[in-house]
Amino acid sequence: MERTSVSKPRAWRDLGARVSMVVPAVLVYVALLVVPVIYAIYYSFTEYNGFPHRVPEFVGLDNYRTMFGSDDITGTMVVTAVVAVVGAVAVNLAALGLALLLRRTNRFNTFGRVVMFYPHVLSALVVGFLWQAVLGPQGVVNTMLEKVGTDSLPFLSDPDWALWSMILVIVWSLFGVQLILYLAGLQAVPADLLEAARIDGASRWQTFRAVTWPSLASTVTVAVITSGISLLKTYDVVVSLTGGGPAGSTKTLAYSILAVSFPQRDIGLASAQAVLLIVAAAVLAITVLVLRRRAEDDAESIG
Amino acid sequence: MKKTLTSAATVRVAFVSLVSLGMLVPMYLLVVNAFKSQQEILANPFSPSFGTATFQYLADAWNNPDFSILKGYGVTIALVLCVNALAMAVCAPAAYVLARTPKPVSRLLLFFFVAGMFIPTQVILVPVIFVLRGIGLMGTLPGLILFMTATTIPFTLFVFFGYIRVLPRSLDEAAAIDGAGRYRTLWRIILPLMRPIVATVFILNSLSVWNDFASPQMILGPGSGVYTVTTGVYAAVGQYSTDYTKVFPTLLLAVIPILVIFVVMQRHIMSGLAAGAVKG
């Protein structure tokens, strides 16, 4: 009709305007996020100490061999995986459980939500220092234990304890976000279905299994992916809570990249570790998305 | 029946109260111990010291010669404002065009942008340093602002896109008939309608910029002498972690502004987070 007969120059001008509106975002994004990823991939195949006048020397897969061959670095991979998996499970269980308890909106529940969310507005660095003062060898908890005549506990000074202490601190500071996501998701659970289940005499657990859980599918996906990715890049808490110790028991990959490989001017190795983390994040996201799709298909075939 | 219901409710309230208490204990310790001497902290970490409370340690932390916390607030606030302004300035037009462009092209571009959400940004800091060095912005605030803007683009653009797509196209057509170009339509028609989503994005991006530690630490470096709140806290507390008269007051000063803002705006912050994430 009329719109198709818009004059050529005007159509061109509109195209120009459109392009000029997208270009700035593309430029910033490509220059500072995409190009660095490409650089990381390139450097991961080179030996390079980061000095501007040195040319990176191509060494093929050497950095990846070093990475998977070094006990120290495979140790950090295990720590990272434990933090990500255990942390994500704990965060999501705590968040979903408390979301179910705080579901109804009243004064008490609103207060509870605020209290459980507040650690998220503190930076992870501050959270780490704060918990260091609570759990450290001379920290609050151990001072109290000594006062009542009990032996102090090695929360941060024993390799086995330190990792679990750190996960506890991360869960404490993180689950509030997922709690809010689940609360939002619960609002979308159809009230008439819940009512119907109640009338049919379903138990709480049956109602949850049959009604609430399936309607939460997309929320669970978002919550698991967001918590998993933020756990994969755990760095700030390590710096302030444990410094990677004792004996490397809390050293994550991100910490190893920024606090070990980079200061040692091993740019190739740092980049290889970065590539590994990017791949891990992508695999995590894709896995969760595929699982979710399958779950949705199942739900459709039932309902 | 009624009786079991109320006892279940009691258990629920008791449990939630207990968890809430656990969540608040570290904060309580932070506040109480910021006013005590080292001996008092070690002797009695839990009890408030109304008799001997002193502002001395808070004043010392405020006047720390290595790190001026007031300057830290200033730098961080400037960072938050610049990153937000820049991110919205580049994302709003881009999201608008993508939301109004035929499917395949915009789908592809959107996917390209959203893929950035899955890049653990702290981890690419090493190559970013070389890029910034290449364009001469390494160790400078503009360099840090550009990088932080880039890291917020995927989320900002995605959420804006989702919001604009739902706004009726007839608005654009009416504006076009009145002779408005794309820029004018965006500025006069679309942006005013985007106020709620702009507020949401502003809050969430501000939180992540305010709390970021790795980016300012790596990009500004200790040599630049410019500290954000987080890098300043690290410089002030990092090596004195057993001197609690430094730790508690410095941490308290670092968290007061953000906690006050949170308490005042908690409803908007939490509903904004829900709205922003559920779009996914």
Distance from CA of A302 to the nearest CA of B (A): 25
- Please answer yes or no on whether A98 and B19 come within 8 Å at the CB atom: yes
Task: Give percent of chain A with pLDDT exceeding 90.
Answer: 44
Average pLDDT over residues B182-189: 88
- Please answer yes or no on whether A114 and B29 come within 8 Å at the CB atom: no
What 3-state class would DSSP assign to B137? coil
Helices (H) and strands (E) in chain A, counts: 15, 2
The domain locations on chain B are 62-278
Structure tokens at B189: 């028609």
Structure tokens at B8: 């279940």
Residues forming a β-bridge with A46: A58
Q: pLDDT per residue over A81-113, tens digit each?
A: 999 999 999 999 999 999 999 988 888 999 999
Q: Which of residues 219 through 238 in chain A touch B, CB cutoff 8 A?
A: 219, 222, 226, 229, 232-233, 235-236
Provide the number of CB pairs (under 8 Å) joining chain A to chain B: 257
pLDDT of res. A303: 43
Confidence of residue A299 (pLDDT cuts 50, 70, 90): low
Average pLDDT over residues B260-265: 88
* Unique residue bearing structure tokens 């309608």: B193
Q: Which residue of A has its CA nearest to B157?
A: A25
Contacts of A124 in chain B (CB under 8 A): 211, 213
Dihedral angle of Cα B6, B11, B16, B18, to the nearest 10 degrees:
140
Higher-confidence position of B77 and B47: B77
> Is B208 in contact with B152 (CB distance < 8 Å)?
yes
State phi, psi for A58 to the nearest 5 degrees. -70, 125
- Please answer yes or no on whether B251 and A132 come within 8 Å at the CB atom: no
Contacts of A29 in chain B (CB under 8 A): 113, 116, 150, 153-154
Q: Which of residues 78 through 97 in chain A touch B, CB cutoff 8 A?
A: none
> Is B278 in contact with A185 (CB distance < 8 Å)?
yes
Mutate to test the interface with B, among A23, A91, A125 (most CBs of B within 10 A): A125
- Quick check: B36 pLDDT over 80? yes
Domain B62-278 adopts which CATH fold?
MetI-like fold (1.10.3720)
Average pLDDT over residues A167-172: 95
Q: What distance in Å separates the CA atoms of residue A231 and residue A249, rounded to the nearest whole number?
A: 16
Task: Give percent of chain B with pLDDT exceeding 90.
Answer: 44
* Unique residue bearing structure tokens 């699982």: A291
**Which of A40, A121, A123 is nearest residue B262 as measured by Cβ atoms?**
A121
- Please answer yes or no on whether A112 and B20 come within 8 Å at the CB atom: yes
Q: Which residue of A has its CA nearest to B32?
A: A140
Q: Please list, in sequence order, all residues whose beta carbon lies within 8 angstroms of the beta carbon of residue B32, skipping any fewer than 6 positions away.
A: B45, B46, B47, B48, B49
The winner for highest mean pLDDT among A254-258, B53-57, B81-85 is B81-85
> Is A275 in contact with A41 (CB distance < 8 Å)?
yes
Distance from CA of A30 to the nearest CA of B (A): 8
- Quick check: B280 pLDDT over 50? no
Task: Give percent of chain A with pLDDT exceeding 70.
Answer: 95
Structure tokens at B111: 């996917």
Record the pTM: 0.89
pLDDT of res. B277: 62
Higher-confidence position of B14 and B4: B14
Q: pLDDT per residue over A201-248, tens digit each?
A: 888 888 888 888 888 888 898 899 889 998 998 999 999 998 887 888
Contacts of A35 in chain B (CB under 8 A): 127, 131
Q: What distance in Å separates the CA atoms of residue A209 and residue A192, rounded to the nearest whole number?
A: 16
Q: pLDDT per residue over B186-220, tens digit each?
A: 898 899 999 989 998 998 899 999 999 999 999 99
Confidence of residue B279 (pLDDT cuts 50, 70, 90): very low
Is the Cβ of A168 closer than 8 Å to some Cβ of chain B? no
Helix (H) or strand (E) holding B250: helix B244-278
- Please answer yes or no on whether B131 and A35 come within 8 Å at the CB atom: yes
Higher-confidence position of B267 and B93: B93
> Is A184 in contact with A102 (CB distance < 8 Å)?
no
Q: How many CB atoms lie within 10 A of CB B140?
A: 15
β pairing state of A46-47 and A57-58: antiparallel
- Quick check: A298 pLDDT over 70? no
Q: pLDDT per residue over B141-172, tens digit each?
A: 999 999 999 999 999 999 999 999 989 888 88
Q: Which residue of A has its CA nearest to B19?
A: A116
Average pLDDT over residues B19-30: 92
> Is A132 in contact with B241 (CB distance < 8 Å)?
yes
Q: How far is CA B38 from the centre of its chain?
A: 32
Mutate to test the interface with A, among B123, B213, B243 (most CBs of A within 10 A): B123
Q: pLDDT per residue over B235-257, tens digit each?
A: 888 877 778 888 899 999 999 99
Q: Of the given ranges (A5-9, A33-37, A68-72, A139-143), which has the lowest mean pLDDT?
A: A5-9
Q: What angle do helix axes B244-278 and A159-187 make, rounded to 10 degrees?
A: 30
pLDDT of res. B148: 96
**Which of B12, B213, B255 is nearest residue A101 as measured by Cβ atoms?**
B12
pLDDT of res. B1: 46
Q: Please list, in sequence order, all residues whose beta carbon lies within 8 angstroms of the beta carbon of residue B131, skipping any fewer than 6 positions away.
A: A31, A32, A35, A36, A39
Q: Is A7 left (phi over 0), alpha (psi -120 to 50) or beta?
A: beta
> Is A179 in contact with B270 (CB distance < 8 Å)?
no
